Amino acid sequence: MNLIEYVKGFYQAWIDYPLQEGDVIADRYRIVELLGIGSYGLTYRCLDLQRGQEAAMKQAKPSKGEVGRELLRREMKVLDKLRHPSIPRAWDLLVDRNQLYMASEFAGGQTVEELIFERGSLFSEREALDFISRLTDIVAYVHRHGYVHLDIRIPNVIAGKNRIHLIDFGLARRIGEAASPEPPFRSGTRLAQDAEPASDLSDIGHLLLFMLYSSYHPTKMADTGWEHELDMTSATRQLLRRLLQIEAPYEDIDAFMRDLEQCRTAHSEQ
């Protein structure tokens, strides 16, 4: 690493340093804890001092400049079009000390990432398929309203007491919207790709793999690939091959949902 790269990295880390517990944003939202730091934003759990309830507060990452701020404004516009109990409502965009924030409902629970890597939760094939079925209902709602999420990953899916939540719509776009070759969206693989449902279906396939691997106990050091390492029914294997586009991909989410339901039914009959 040369000196310029070192200084740049130090500067970015400094300006992206998160706010602390007890800090108050816009004289209203008191920070309880930092929930996470993503590529373009920092998210906090806050107490809304006016409503007297918990809130999620997303801050555009300072080091991303206009890219981060524009993504947050776009996320607010997308969420304003979606009304689903498993998608937290966005309340407001606000500026405090020259930083842009989005206040929204707080989705209680734990992310799939936390469940697998912190709590050590194990998902059987049937449990994973049932979970994916519930998640797909949410994604289907998003698609039917003309959007793709484009970031369905284990940190962005929350398992609560009574429902699953899909969060972080920062990269969501209209279906068919071409990637802009102009700044600020030119950099980054996710920002540069076209907005197509196939991307969300591929993400669902990778999320399903994470859940299935939670119960995997390796017997060999060699990496032989998921099709050899994971013990699953032929129906689930075929489902994954199409989700991951190893075989002919699904034309839309409804086609996947039909196969998923047949897969779950066949699994329960075994």
Please identify, among 48, 82, 105, the residue that sits at the C-terminal boundary of a domain. 105
Instruction: Tell me the CATH number at 252.
Output: 1.10.510.10
pLDDT at 2: 64
Shared-domain flag, residues 157 and 99: no
pLDDT at 6: 47
Shared-domain flag, residues 76 and 148: no
Shared-domain flag, residues 171 and 81: no
Largest CA distance in the chain: 63
Selecting among 16, 80, 92, 151, the annotated active-site residue is 151
Shared-domain flag, residues 20 and 34: yes
**CB-CB contact of 146 with 98 (8 Å):** no
pLDDT in tens for each of the 270 residues of the chain?
Answer: 565 564 555 456 668 999 999 999 999 999 999 999 988 999 999 999 999 999 999 999 999 999 999 999 999 999 999 999 999 999 999 999 999 999 999 999 999 999 999 999 999 999 999 999 999 999 999 999 999 999 999 999 999 888 999 999 999 999 998 776 555 555 555 666 779 999 999 999 999 999 999 999 877 656 778 998 999 999 999 999 999 999 999 999 999 999 999 999 877 766
Shared-domain flag, residues 119 and 253: yes
Can you tell me the distance from the alpha carbon of 89 to that of 110, in angstroms, rounded to the nearest whole number? 18
Shared-domain flag, residues 162 and 238: yes
Shared-domain flag, residues 150 and 214: yes
> Helix H segments across the chain?
3-15, 65-81, 112-117, 125-144, 189-192, 197-213, 226-229, 234-243, 253-269
Shared-domain flag, residues 60 and 161: no
Any domain includes 261: yes
The alpha carbon torsion through 101, 103, 104, 109 (nearest 10 deg) reads: 80
pLDDT at 173: 94
Q: Is 168 a catalytic residue?
A: no
Residue 41's Cα: distance from chain center in Å? 13
Any domain includes 188: yes
Any domain includes 127: yes
**Paired tokens of 21:** 């517990």
Domain that holds residue 60: 13-105
SS3 assignment, position 31: strand
SS3 assignment, position 173: strand
Shared-domain flag, residues 121 and 244: yes
Shared-domain flag, residues 121 and 249: yes
Instruction: Tell me the CATH number at 24.
Output: 3.30.200.20
